[in-house]
Every structure is written in C-alpha cells, then in structure tokens.
Amino acid sequence: MNDFTHDYVRIHQQRLHCVIAGSGKPVLLIPGWPQTWYAWRHVMAALADAGYQAIAIDPPGSGHSDRPAGGYDTGAVAATLHQAMLALGHAQYDVVGHDIGMWVGYALASDFPQAVTKLALTEAVIPGLAPAPPIFVAPADNIFLWHFMFNQVPDLPEMLTAGREREYIRFIFDKWSYRRDQVAVDVYAEAYATAGALRAGFAYYRAIPETIRQNLERAKTPLAMPVLAIGAEYATNDAPLLTMQGKADDLQGAIVADCGHFIMEEQPAAFIGHLLPFLAGASA
C-alpha cells in the first residue's frame, strides 16, 4: 500500500479518483457495487510486481469520485473512464472489471475497441446479453437477484436505507461472500454511508433499461480482443463465461473454487493465477 499513488482527473466537470501502482503496460481495474477501488489492492500489488501499471478507479458515484446526478448507463460511464485513461496518458490499455465493473468493462471494450487490448471480466452477468432471470426463483438464487428490482425502484430504497446504510451494505456482504473474513466490509460500509453514495449506486441499476438498449446493439459485433470470463464457485459460477459466449471471438473461462462473489478479496491468489497468464498472452 505504501507504493500506491492516489490521483484525481477531471472529466466532463466531474472529479474521478484513481489509485496507481507500478509501471509498465496499463491495466484499468473497475470495481463493482458496493465496493470501491480498494477491492483491487491485492491484484494491484501482483500486477505491479509483474511489470504492469495497475490503475484502480472509483467509477462515477463511488468512493472518492464525484456523484453526478445522471450518466450511469454503461455507455456514459465507459466513455468517462476512457477519457480518464487518456488524461493519464494511456491510449491503449487492458481492462479488468468485477460485478457492475464487468458491465462497464464490456461497454468500454465494445465502444472503444482501438483502446482495449485485453478484457478480463468476473462475477456478473451483463444486462442485455444474458436472459433476464424469472421473478420466482429458489431462495438460494433469489439472494443474488432481489436487489436488481429493489435498487431500481425510485425513491423507496433511499427512504428505507436512510440512516441504515451500513446495515444495508453489511447485509449484502454477509449474503454474497463465502470467505467474509477476507473482505474489507467496514471499508465499503463506511464509503457507502457517505452522502449520496447509495443514491449513486442505485443509479447504475436504474439505468439498466438504457444499458440493455445499448448492449443489444453492441452484441451485434463480437469483441475481437482476447476475453477472459471468471466466475466464483459459490456465486455466479460459469455464468460470466456463458454470458460472453458468442459475444467475443477469443474467449476463455475459469471458475475459482471455494469462493463467493467478492473474488479478488476472497481468493486473490487464485484470481491472480488466472489473470496474470491471460494478460501475458498465455492460455488461462
């Protein structure tokens, strides 16, 4: 952590926070909900040691980045992150995305194929690429799905979580992690208890209809760069790989055992063991 540098860039009148480690080919790391750049700390150290420059970013609305009123569809967010990478001096870079970061990573690779040289995606399905799940599912499945509808409802989530933001976030980590002791739950609970943070997080879900519309168009052109899709045994499993089948010409897949949704923290060594060979160009 002592070798991590915090920086800020201003894109479209909003401030974005990023943390940088190492030097070499840049790798953009995009966290999901409800996490921040901090979810990548283990991966960042490994990338830096392997000769890469790791750039973990707080996407709009999260962590120490600004919380704009709108612009949370994945096309808008991807464009903002690409401009941030250009501002940092990188016209080409690899991308790794987790959870909603997987949604944004796909949009970034599809919308800016000249910039994204490799794409690693983990622990999500992508709206518009994967079929929508049914409403009536078993409780074990519903625990990973209920928030999609709740978070999209206007106003009600803010009203019910006001003053209880930490409890709401901790519930998510309690239910979605398999190795909860490995996850920095309190860091994220504090981050999402700050003013406007949950509202901004909900905005990504409220933008799903627009993201789906965009992805139906993106899916018409498969990604040409190498793509790695990684799932966790006790979370999405093979769903990331299935989501990307037919959407990428050069697709590899992996599943990390004994792991829940927060894969970069729960099983960092196993995750890094798949990621580094992929970025180096070897088979995953």
DSSP line for 113-124 = TTTEEEEEEES-
- Residue 284: the pLDDT is 43
Stated pTM of the model:
0.97
Say how far apart CA 9 and CA 88 lie, in whole Å. Answer: 8
- Residue 126: the pLDDT is 98
* Residue whose structure tokens are 């409220």: 206
Say how far apart CA 201 and CA 157 lie, in whole Å. Answer: 11
- Residue 267: the pLDDT is 98
Q: Which tens digit of pLDDT belongs to each residue from 49-84?
A: 999 999 999 999 999 999 999 999 999 999 999 999
Taking the chain (284 residues) in runs of 10, the rounded mean pLDDT of each run is 91 96 98 98 98 98 98 98 98 98 98 98 97 92 96 97 97 98 98 97 98 98 98 98 98 98 98 98 58
Tokens of 199: 């509202």
Q: Which tens digit of pLDDT belongs to each residue from 5-36?
A: 999 999 989 999 999 999 999 999 999 999 99
Tokens of 180: 């909860």
- Residue 282: the pLDDT is 54
- Residue 8: the pLDDT is 98
Tokens of 156: 């009600």
